[in-house]
């Protein structure tokens, strides 16, 4: 992307502060390790999950003048973290707050829930608690997990479009064979569909899997590897090369393709909040909140936003960190659509649609002590609870959308952060 000349001059001025261009250029050149400028010794105990290896790494960092005294080392046996982390040196601490009760009327999640949220952002928990109060007094959020698919999209590169077409023609009839290959990689992973994208001599195959109660990222990777190798052994055309992921699945990034279909769990939630509750709890009128939502849609369109929503990432990141989810999946999970309207009776209708919720209640970090405890608060420990957790995520997200839109509509947003988001708080004049 082009940089305006004035901006380029500002950047150059900052870069050259207290130095010359020659000195700066020398500083930025590569430094090949040698006897005069050697690399420090590497991290010890690689591949070793013992307590002794953890302490060796701690000692090595100390010798380099790096202090890690505040990292907790007593909360978990390092050996239990195999599969979750390498080169373990300790656990970080993130504050966890709780909101609720949040009344949810879902297919899988049905009841009144107290929700753990991990964050260091002041005002966030209070805002979601306010939204939870409003929707609970209104009878609760209606929510449904309507589809579950985890996608991996390998790419096969051929010498010509003709070869790619022949390979595709031979691959499609092999669905049942490939489904059997997938079953042999995991008792939970099931091949649901194969979608195709042909771009000249490059063929992308979109494998859609269901993964039970696991988020399933590793599961589908291993299954895709097995499927690709089976395809190579059963087709007459051999690609020049192939890649386990062609960057088309939407893994951990916001994409239009995943937004218009589904990757993970697609969850829809809605509620109509009576105007009296909107005024008493959210301190705004339905009309004021709806008017702000209209402005937000216009702003989102002009910024080319994928989806249209306020701040799904706040709810999901706080839930993901508390409950042992892969936080990097926020890149795709925090995409969706918030819809608001004023009913004929003057009440406020709100819905959220999240097409890319990558969540699980088994595997990954869900077995870690604090994550398991937070999942336990929600009744989402173990098999048979992933859809329930996804519906809870959507309900919390909706509560947050109501609260932030009300704050922005009435001009309370800045003061809330000044009061709750800073030590001691300040009053804006």
Burial of 354 (0-12, 13-18, 19+ CB in 10 A): buried
Q: Which pLDDT score is estimated for 76?
A: 87
More confident residue, 256 or 358: 358
The winner for highest mean pLDDT among 25-29, 64-68, 109-113, 251-255 is 109-113
Q: Are 213 and 382 in contact (CB under 8 A)?
A: yes
Q: Which pLDDT score is estimated for 10?
A: 80
141-152 and 96-106 strand pairing: parallel
Rounded CA Rg of the chain: 25
Mean pLDDT across 229-242: 97
Q: Which pLDDT score is estimated for 414?
A: 56
pLDDT of residue 428 exceeding 50 = no
pLDDT in tens, 156-210: 999 999 999 999 999 999 999 999 999 999 999 999 999 999 999 999 999 999 9
Instruction: For residue 422, name the pLDDT band (cuts at 50, 70, 90).
Output: low
Query: How many whole angstroms separate alpha carbon 63 and alpha carbon 429?
Result: 50
Q: Which pLDDT score is estimated for 75?
A: 81
Q: Which pLDDT score is estimated for 426?
A: 47
Six-digit token string for 96: 């966890």
Can 110 be counted among the known catalytic residues? no
What lies within 8 Å, CB to CB, of 74 at 6+ separation is: none
pLDDT of residue 413 exceeding 70 = no
More confident residue, 348 or 416: 348
Q: Which pLDDT score is estimated for 407?
A: 94
Instruction: For residue 420, name the pLDDT band (cuts at 50, 70, 90).
Output: low
Mean pLDDT across 318-344: 96
Which of the 8 DSSP states describes residue 250?
-
DSSP-based three-state secondary structure for 160: coil
How many Cβ atoms are within 10 Å of 52's Cβ, its own excluded?
A: 11
Q: Which pLDDT score is estimated for 259?
A: 86
Q: Are 245 and 153 in contact (CB under 8 A)?
A: yes
Q: Are 241 and 195 in contact (CB under 8 A)?
A: no
More confident residue, 16 or 298: 298
Mean pLDDT across 346-372: 96
Range from 113-117, 200-204, 224-228, 249-253 carrying the lowest mean pLDDT:
249-253
**Average pLDDT of the chain to the nearest whole number:** 92
Selecting among 121, 170, 287, 373, the annotated active-site residue is 121
What lies within 8 Å, CB to CB, of 8 at 6+ separation is: none
Selecting among 206, 290, 311, 417, the annotated active-site residue is 417
Where b means 16+ CB within 10 Å and e means fewer, 283-311 reads ebbbebbbbbbeebbeebeeeeebbbbbb
pLDDT of residue 242 exceeding 80 = yes
Q: Which pLDDT score is estimated for 411?
A: 85
Selecting among 245, 326, 367, 373, the annotated active-site residue is 326
Instruction: For residue 429, name the pLDDT band (cuts at 50, 70, 90).
Output: very low
How many Cβ atoms are within 10 Å of 393's Cβ, its own excluded?
A: 29
Query: How many whole angstroms separate alpha carbon 403 and alpha carbon 127?
Result: 6
Six-digit token string for 274: 């009576």
pLDDT in tens, 108-152: 999 999 999 999 998 999 999 999 999 999 999 999 999 999 999
pLDDT of residue 292 exceeding 70 = yes
Q: Are 356 and 262 in contact (CB under 8 A)?
A: yes
Phi, psi (rounded to 5 degrees) for 386: -65, -40
Can 276 be counted among the known catalytic residues? no
Which helix (H) or strand (E) covers residue 101, if one does? strand 96-106
Residue ranges and CATH numbers for the domains of the chain are: 38-93 (no CATH), 97-147+254-419 (3.90.770.10), 154-243 (3.30.70.420)
Can 417 be counted among the known catalytic residues? yes
Q: Cα torsion for 74, 75, 79, 84, to the nearest 10°? A: -130
DSSP-based three-state secondary structure for 146: strand
Mean pLDDT across 387-411: 96
Q: Which pLDDT score is estimated for 239?
A: 97
The winner for highest mean pLDDT among 8-22, 24-38, 246-260, 329-343 is 329-343
Residue entry with tokens 């000195």: 23
Six-digit token string for 105: 């009327």
pTM reported for the whole predicted model: 0.90
């Amino acid at each position: 992307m082009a940089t305006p000349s004035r901006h380029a001059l500002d950047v150059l001025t900052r870069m050259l502060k207290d130095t010359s261009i020659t000195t700066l250029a020398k500083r930025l050149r590569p430094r090949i390790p040698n006897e005069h400028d050697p690399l420090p010794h590497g991290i010890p105990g690689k591949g070793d999950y013992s307590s002794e290896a953890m302490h060796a790494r701690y000692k090595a960092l100390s010798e380099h003048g790096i202090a890690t005294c505040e990292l907790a080392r007593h909360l978990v046996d390092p050996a239990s973290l195999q599969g979750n982390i390498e080169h373990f040196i300790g656990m970080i601490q993130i504050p966890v707050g709780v909101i609720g009760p949040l009344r949810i009327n879902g297919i899988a999640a049905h009841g009144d829930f107290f929700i753990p949220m991990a964050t260091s952002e002041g005002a966030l928990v209070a805002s979601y608690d306010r939204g939870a109060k409003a929707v609970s007094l209104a009878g609760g959020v209606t929510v449904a997990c309507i589809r579950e698919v985890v996608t991996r999209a390998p790419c096969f590169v051929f010498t010509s479009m003709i070869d790619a077409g022949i390979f595709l023609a031979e691959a499609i009839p092999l669905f049942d064979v490939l489904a059997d290959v997938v079953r042999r990689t995991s008792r939970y992973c099931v091949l649901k569909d194969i979608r195709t994208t042909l771009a000249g001599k490059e063929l992308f195959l979109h494998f859609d899997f269901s993964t039970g109660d696991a988020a399933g990222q590793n599961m589908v990777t291993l299954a895709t590897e097995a499927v690709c190798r089976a395809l190579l052994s059963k087709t007459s055309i051999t690609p020049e090369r192939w890649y386990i992921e062609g960057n088309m699945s939407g893994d951990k990034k916001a994409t239009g393709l995943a937004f218009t279909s589904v990757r993970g769990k697609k969850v829809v939630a809605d509620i109509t909040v009576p105007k009296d509750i909107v005024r008493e709890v959210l301190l705004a009128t339905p009309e004021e909140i709806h008017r702000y939502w209209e402005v937000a849609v216009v702003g989102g369109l002009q910024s080319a936003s994928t989806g249209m929503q306020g701040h799904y990432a706040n709810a999901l990141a706080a839930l993901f960190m508390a409950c042992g989810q892969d936080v990097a999946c926020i890149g795709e999970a925090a995409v969706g659509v918030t819809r608001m309207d004023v009913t004929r009776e003057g009440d406020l209708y709100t819905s959220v649609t999240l097409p890319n919720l990558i969540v699980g209640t088994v595997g990954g970090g869900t077995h870690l002590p604090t994550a398991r405890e937070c999942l336990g608060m929600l009744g989402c420990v173990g098999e048979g609870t992933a859809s329930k957790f996804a519906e809870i995520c959507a309900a919390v997200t909706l509560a947050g959308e109501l609260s932030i839109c009300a704050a922005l509509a009435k001009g309370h947003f800045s003061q809330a952060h000044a009061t709750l988001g800073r030590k001691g708080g300040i009053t804006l004049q």
